[in-house]
């Protein structure tokens, strides 16, 4: 287990820009996403492109928060059944969050599942305070742990991935962390593949669209901020072989999914040519790229124009009927309507009924307009997403409770 992780770290010592392959599509702002896929058992690098590019981790940060929490449980210093009193600071974390109230008592397990399934920032912060005594104390632990794992291109500043220009990582480092989670805590890995989290009377679906969209995919984590673009660490098994893939900086959910599928497809076929290296781990810093990460993702959900008149958009009804499916969230309601129309054409003949709905939502301070079909049966909602996944398109089925929960995350 440790040998596999160490071999992987050594194998990535001198990965630099353009090391293997130049096929990854560029974003609209000309920034090409970083991508990497490795064999989880041997640590062999199968595909690598810009694997050491500094990047904002966004909610991939929560993988480290989970790693430290699992470590505390394994050491006997913490139990999954231990309770956490949610502080005012934790409850005040901006969306995405589960919606815990100040003073609410939750268990460590509930906080973990909310953080990993729905990417809840309040849950991550609550765990950090419980384990570190304070968020800053936990961040110190995060950085020490990253250093111990050999994540030499990573610096953490908060436990949940909210924007901070000093919070950095690389695709290579995220793969190191993913391997450590898989090999060190195999008994906890199933948490990364849960499709829904329910705490009390509130349920939220997973934000991980890879689950169910790629054969054998069974976890791990997505991330998004306007600075990072669309990130993902994913794992899939085929023929007894497990691969870990990383994408950092995709332009949108669709491109992120296309890149992930391509990485897995290529990896399971043997990958691309990656030079072998026997360099010592001490030489890793020589392989880091010096380019700064982009500051704002252009031409995406973050590029909402200032002249959008929310009063002229489709108002969300008091109650959305039946099951719904979401095809994406967009900066302009007209673009959301166009996305619904394009999706309906793709579903023609396979799904009957349903009515379009554009719903205004807020995410990390950004206004988005969710493109939905509502009034569907559970079977039609499931079939709609199966058809869209087959086309490598984003789709998430929402049950009536989640559809009408103002705190639920649609992403």
Query: What is the structure's pLDDT at 91?
Result: 95
Residues 331 and 229 in one domain: no
Query: What is the structure's pLDDT at 333?
Result: 82
**pLDDT above 80 (res 60):** yes
Residues 331 and 374 in one domain: yes
**pLDDT above 50 (res 317):** no
Active-site residue list: 59, 62, 119
Total domains in the fold of the chain: 2
Q: What is d(CA 32, CA 247) in angstroms, rounded to the nearest whole number?
A: 10
Q: What is d(CA 394, CA 385) in angstroms, rounded to the nearest whole number?
A: 8
**pLDDT above 90 (res 328):** no
Q: What is the mean pLDDT of residues 276-301?
A: 44
Residues 206 and 105 in one domain: yes
Q: Which residues of 324-348 are buried (b: 16+ CB within 10 A; e: fewer)?
A: bbbbbbbbbbebbbebbeebeebbe
The reply to whether 6 falls in a domain is: yes
Cβ atoms 8, 15 nearer than 8 A: no
User: Which pair of tokens denotes residue 43?
Assistant: 């640590």
The reply to whether 305 falls in a domain is: no
- Higher-confidence residue of 6 and 155: namely 155
H helix intervals, 164-234: 171-184
- Parent domain of 377: 310-403
Q: How confident is the model at residue 286 (pLDDT cuts 50, 70, 90)?
A: very low
Residue 371, H or E segment = strand 366-376
Q: What is the mean pLDDT of residues 261-276?
A: 80
The reply to whether 302 falls in a domain is: no
Query: What is the structure's pLDDT at 67?
Result: 98
Residues written for the chain: 411
Q: How confident is the model at residue 178 (pLDDT cuts 50, 70, 90)?
A: very high
CATH code (residue 362): 3.30.70.1070
Q: What is d(CA 176, CA 66) in angstroms, rounded to the nearest whole number?
A: 14
Give percent of the chain with pLDDT exceeding 70: 78
pTM of the full structure: 0.70
Residues 276 and 316 in one domain: no
Cβ atoms 154, 223 nearer than 8 A: no
Residues 359 and 270 in one domain: no
Residues 239 and 335 in one domain: no
The reply to whether 408 falls in a domain is: no
Q: What is d(CA 49, CA 175) in angstroms, rounded to the nearest whole number?
A: 13
**pLDDT above 50 (res 14):** no
Give percent of the chain with pLDDT exceeding 90: 47
Q: Which of 119, 21, 62, 55 is nearest to 248 (CA)?
A: 55
**pLDDT above 80 (res 74):** yes
pLDDT in tens, 17-52: 333 333 345 444 456 899 999 999 988 899 988 888
Q: What is d(CA 220, CA 381) in angstroms, rounded to the nearest whole number?
A: 24
The reply to whether 236 falls in a domain is: yes
**pLDDT above 70 (res 395):** yes
**pLDDT above 70 (res 16):** no
Q: What is the mean pLDDT of residues 49-58?
A: 90
CATH code (residue 179): 3.40.710.10
Q: What is the mean pLDDT of residues 147-158?
A: 93
Residue 47, H or E segment = strand 45-49
Is the CA virtual torsion 125, 126, 127, 130 positive or negative? positive
Residues 317 and 191 in one domain: no
Q: From the CB of residue 8, how many other CB atoms can be counted at a distance below 10 Å?
A: 25
**pLDDT above 80 (res 379):** yes
User: Which pair of tokens denotes residue 328?
Assistant: 């994406």
Q: What is the mean pLDDT of residues 374-383?
A: 86
- Which residues, in sequence order, are CB contacts of 92 under 8 Å at separation 6+? none
Q: What is the mean pLDDT of residues 126-141?
A: 97
Query: What angle do the packed helices 121-132 and 135-149 form, to 10 degrees?
Result: 90
Q: How confident is the model at residue 367 (pLDDT cuts 50, 70, 90)?
A: confident
């Amino acid at each position: 287990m440790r040998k596999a992780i160490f071999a992987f770290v050594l194998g990535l010592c001198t990965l630099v820009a353009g090391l293997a392959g130049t096929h990854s599509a560029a974003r609209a702002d000309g920034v090409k996403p970083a991508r990497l896929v490795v064999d989880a058992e041997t640590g062999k690098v199968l595909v690598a492109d810009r694997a050491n590019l500094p990047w904002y981790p966004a909610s991939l940060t929560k993988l480290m928060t989970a790693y430290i929490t699992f470590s505390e449980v394994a050491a006997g210093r913490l139990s999954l059944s231990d309770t956490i009193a949610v502080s005012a600071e934790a409850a005040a974390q901006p969306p995405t969050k589960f919606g815990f109230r100040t003073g609410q008592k939750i268990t460590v397990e509930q906080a973990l599942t909310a953080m990993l399934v729905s990417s809840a920032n309040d849950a991550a912060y609550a765990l950090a305070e419980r384990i570190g005594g304070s968020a800053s104390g936990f961040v110190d632990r995060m950085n020490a742990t990253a250093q111990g794992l050999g994540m030499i291109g990573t610096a953490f500043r908060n436990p949940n991935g909210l924007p901070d220009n000093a919070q950095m990582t690389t695709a290579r480092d995220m793969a190191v962390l993913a391997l450590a989670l898989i090999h060190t805590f195999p008994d906890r890995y199933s948490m990364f593949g849960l499709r829904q989290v329910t705490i009390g009377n509130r349920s939220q679906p997973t934000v991980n669209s890879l689950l169910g969209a790629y054969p054998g995919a069974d976890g791990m984590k997505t991330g998004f901020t306007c600075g990072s673009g669309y990130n993902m660490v994913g794992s899939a098994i085929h023929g007894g072989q497990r691969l870990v893939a990383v994408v950092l900086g995709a332009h949108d959910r669709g491109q992120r999914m296309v890149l992930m599928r391509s990485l897995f497809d290529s990896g399971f076929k043997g990958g691309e040519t990656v030079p072998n290296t026997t360099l010592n781990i001490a030489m890793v810093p020589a392989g880091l790229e010096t380019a700064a990460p982009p500051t704002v993702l252009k031409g995406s959900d973050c590029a909402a124009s200032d002249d959008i008149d929310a009063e002229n958009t489709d108002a969300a009804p008091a109650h959305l009927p039946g099951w719904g499916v979401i095809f994406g969230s967009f900066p302009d309601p007209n673009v959301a309507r166009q996305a619904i129309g394009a999706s309906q054409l793709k579903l023609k003949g396979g799904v009957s009924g349903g009515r379009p709905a554009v719903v205004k939502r807020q995410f990390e301070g950004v206004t988005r307009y969710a493109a939905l079909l509502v009034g569907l049966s559970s079977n039609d909602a499931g079939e709609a997403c199966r058809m869209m996944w087959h086309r490598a398109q984003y789709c998430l089925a929402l049950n009536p409770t989640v559809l009408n929960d103002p705190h639920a995350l649609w992403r």
